[in-house]
Amino acid sequence: MEEKKYDLTIVYDYKERPDIVSGRCDNCGNAQFKSSMKNTIFLRECRECGMKKSI
């Protein structure tokens, strides 16, 4: 699988960039995420590459 190049310092919005493959990281294809909640914003971070999306 070809690795995409996303800026990993940016938190992407899920509404603007939904998953290419549901439940998988757009950047590396990993299916494991760390989740956190802050100020009613759910943040999902890929455990492999660190790409973040607010859900």
Q: What is the pLDDT of residue 18?
A: 96
Res 2: pLDDT = 53
What residue spans define the domains of the chain? 11-54
Give buried/exposed letters for 11-43 (b at 16+ CB in 10 A, else e): ebeeeeeeeeeeebbbbbbeeebeeeeeeeeee
Per-residue pLDDT of the chain (55 residues), as tens digits, is 455 689 999 999 999 999 999 999 999 999 999 999 988 999 999 999 999 999 9
Residue 5 has a pLDDT of 81
Specify the pLDDT at position 48.
Answer: 96
pTM assigned to the model: 0.84
